[in-house]
Amino acid sequence: MEPLEIIEKLKEKFATEIMDVSEFRGQVSVSVRPAKIMDMCRYLHDDPDLYMDYLADLCGVDYPDRKYRFEVVYNLFSIKHRHRLLIKALILEKDPNVDSVVPIWAGANWHEREACDMYGIVFNGHPDLRRILMPDDWVGYPLRKDYPLKGPEGAEYKEFEELKVLHSHDKEWNIQS
Amino acid sequence: MENDKTVTDSQLNGTARIATKEMTLNMGPQHPATHGVLRLVLDLDGETITKCTPYVGYLHRGVEKLAENRNYLQILPLTDRLDYISSMSNNLGYCYAVENLFGIKVPERTEYIRTIVGEMSRIANHLLWLATHALDIGAMTVFLYCFREREMILDLFERLCGARLTVTYPRIGGLKNDVDEQWLKDLKVFIDDFPGKVKQYETLINKNRIWLRRTKGIGVISAEEAINWGMSGPVLRGSGVPYDVRKVMSYGVYDKVDWKICTGKNGDVYDRYRVRMDEFHQSVSIIKQCIDQIPEGPIMADAPKFTLPSKDKVLTDMEHLIHHFVLITKGPQTAPEGELYFATEVPKGELGFYFVSDGSGKPYRMRVRSPSFVHVSALPKLCEGELVADIIANIGSIDIVLGECDR
């Protein structure tokens, strides 16, 4: 199915949810309100004509100057029909959260954890929402645009909890640091 | 972290009370069989894994953040360090994605050379995978044989571009340099020889009883589950799904040569092994056809805003020298505005780059969709309920590299 046909089909069901449709080099992306993302994804996944069974990717994007600061991009693909659609859920800066799609695509699990780790977006109903790439006690969200490339300015090196436990034996074992 | 549990084992003899202990075992991050710095925490009931929790991030270098602060030309060497086993494929994936974003059409000769080196990289990657996978399971000899051939490919890479592991050979809009006739001839000799070598590996393990017992019926994942988990590459094909990015979203010259998608049936470790072994032959066939069909012509696209001029022009011509200087020091100044996801089939699966461009010379957002990340996330699904020894076979069979997983 052509991407624009998919949008038409989607509009029939979720007309109020769709905010914007854009096309670039034949790839269509659609911006939607996050409230009904779960229903929308379920529909895209289950409908026999769409059958988007493959979640190729899920990631966050940060636009500090926009009204909706964060975007969560769902990259959907249908292995059966071979069509692709990018769904972008627009999320407000204050209390950023969106429903988790893990019940639909199990593969979303780690992608959502990463988006949470890097942008601080909370995925409601996620089975195991912890930091994934950064250490558990890391402060801040590294991929946000206001996070400096080399870490926060003037921040002192803070020992991680794990290292503290390791070094707690230094005296006892006569290790000089 | 051990909790004592006393269970009445009435199934045994009705009266005896056997004390069993659930144990938590830490595996990695420094462990030779985890193929890098992967850490697994395994909850064991006897020898059965009840819960497996992978921890990643030990090799996180922030490639995505770095990319937002560099121009498009400077990002290319970062992609080598994602999957360092097959860096050529990563470079190609990045270049194709950026070229699609910029709207650059690459010359035909370049497409052929890229397909050849891409498939060479696939062979080199699968050789290293077979070597280490077999070594993990206990077949040591295979390791030595595989490295013999991998070395030859790396030698060819070295002659081509001067580097063996992190090659950075492709450029945006073309290639670093052209291939010469002698190189193609030597490649042909290697390629003609190679199917015989694959047969050698197969005689070592194909009918080996230990190999079969360790791989057949282990780590089974059905086609629906594999799709649901977002798996790709040989892992997905091992479950019988004929999904290959080279066919689905054709790039390079994969639509001009004759080859087929290799699939398995059962989705176990053995089928994933079979798929990769069959891919050796497909790669050989693709390279052979490419060598026969390769046309003459330029290797760089005509897009002076983004592509570097050729070196001999730079050294003889003032305008080209300035052009080179400006591009190297400042990088491309503009890029088309938009967002684009482009995926290529790297040896490990589907490597996708998602770019958001705001029109400047740096990507606003570069997302790397790495196959290893997805495959590690599905590891608990593969190994829970199996024996602790099988986790080694499972890790080997999904063919992960942590540089790519953690980015």
DSSP string, B142-164: HHHHHHHHHHHHHHHHHHHHS-S
Determine, for residues A106 and B231 on separate chains, whether the beta-carbon distance falls below 8 Å. no
Nearest chain B residue to A61 by CA: give it.
B365
Q: Which of B367, B398, B407 to mutate to test the interface with A (most CBs of A within 10 A)?
A: B367
Identify the H or E element spanning B268: none
On the question of pLDDT at B155 being above 70, the answer is yes
- Distance CA(A37)–CA(A28), nearest Å, equals 17
Q: Which among A25, A57, A147 has CB closest to B352?
A: A57
User: Residue A163 pLDDT > 90, yes or no?
Assistant: no
**SS3 state at B175:** strand
A49 vs B364 pLDDT, higher one:
B364
Give the pLDDT mean for B277-296: 91
DSSP letter string, B10-41 = TTTTSS-EEEEEEEEEEE-SSBGGGTBS-EEE
Averaged pLDDT for residues B153-177: 89
Q: List CB contacts (< 8 A) between B100 and chain A.
A: 25
Q: Does residue B298 carry a pLDDT above 80?
A: yes
Q: How many Å apart are CA B270 and CA A67, to the nearest integer?
A: 52
Check residue A60 and report its DSSP letter.
Answer: E
Instruction: Give the pLDDT confidence score for residue B16 in this predicted structure.
Output: 55
State residue B360's pLDDT score: 86
- Chain B residues in contact with A82 by the CB 8 A cut-off are 248
* Mean pLDDT in residue range A145-167: 71
Decide if B96 touches A, using CB distance below 8 A: no
Note whether A21 contacts B: Cβ–Cβ < 8 A.
no
Q: CA-based angle B281:B286:B289, to the nearest 5? A: 125
State the pLDDT at residue B23.
83
In order of A144, B334, B335, the CA distances from B357 in angstroms are 16, 10, 7
Q: Is the pLDDT of residue B117 over 90?
A: yes
| Mean pLDDT of the region B273-296 | 91
Which of A9, A3, A37, A27 has its CA nearest to residue A105? A37
Q: Does A86 touch chain B (CB under 8 A)?
A: yes
Distance CA A50, CA A44 (A): 6
Sorting pLDDT into bands at 50, 70 and 90, what band is B2?
A: very low
Q: How many pairs of residues across A and B have Cβ atoms under 8 Å apart?
A: 93
**Measured between CB atoms, which of B65, B100, B381 is closest to A25?**
B100
Which of A56, A109, A110 is closest, CB to CB, to B350?
A: A56
Name the pTM for this structure.
0.86
Report which residue type is found at B322.
Answer: I
Measured between CA atoms, how close is B69 to chain A, in angstroms?
A: 8
Rounded Cα distance, A143 and B275, in Å: 37
Give the chain A residue nearest B379 (alpha carbons).
A107
pLDDT of residue B13: 56
Both tokens assigned to B384:
């829970």
In this complex, do A107 and B231 lie within 8 Å of one another by their Cβ atoms? yes
Please give the distance of CA B346 from its chain centroid, rounded to a whole number: 5
Identify the CA nearest to B258 among candidates B234, B292, B289. B289
- CA angle, B379 then B384 then B387, to 5°: 110
Mean pLDDT to the nearest integer, A159-168: 68
Mean confidence (pLDDT) of chain B: 87
- Per the model's pLDDT, the better-predicted residue between B98 and B20 turns out to be B98
Contacts of B171 (CB under 8 A, 6+ apart): B76, B95, B300, B307, B308
* pLDDT interval class at B195 (50, 70, 90): very high
The residue with tokens 């490295």 is B147
Q: Is residue A168 predicted with pLDDT exceeding 60?
A: yes
Q: How confident is the model at residue B284 (pLDDT cuts 50, 70, 90)?
A: very high
pLDDT of A177 reads 56
Rg for chain B, CA atoms, rounded: 23
What pLDDT is attached to residue A156? Answer: 59
* 3-state SS class at A17: coil
In chain A, what percentage of residues exceed pLDDT 70? Answer: 91
CATH number of A3-147: 3.30.460.80
- Residue type for B304, please? P
In the predicted structure, residue B259 carries a pLDDT above the cut 80: yes
- The DSSP call for residue B387 is B
* Longest Cα–Cα distance in chain A: 72
Q: If contacts are CB pairs under 8 Å, which of residues 88-117 in chain A contact chain B?
A: 105-110, 114
User: Are B362 and B70 spatial neighbours (Cβ–Cβ below 8 Å)?
Assistant: yes
Percent of chain A with pLDDT over 90: 19
CB distance A105–B248 less than 8 Å?
no
- Give the ipTM of the model, two decimals please: 0.84
- Report domain extents, chain A: 3-147
Q: What integer pLDDT is reported at residue B354 of this predicted model?
A: 93
Stretch B123-136: mean pLDDT, rounded?
A: 91
pLDDT > 70? residue B4: no
For an interface test with A, the pick among B39, B64, B74 (most A C-beta atoms closer than 10 Å) comes out as: B64
The helix/strand/coil state of A114 is: helix
Residue B1: per-residue pLDDT: 45
Please check whether residue A56 touches B, CB under 8 A.
yes
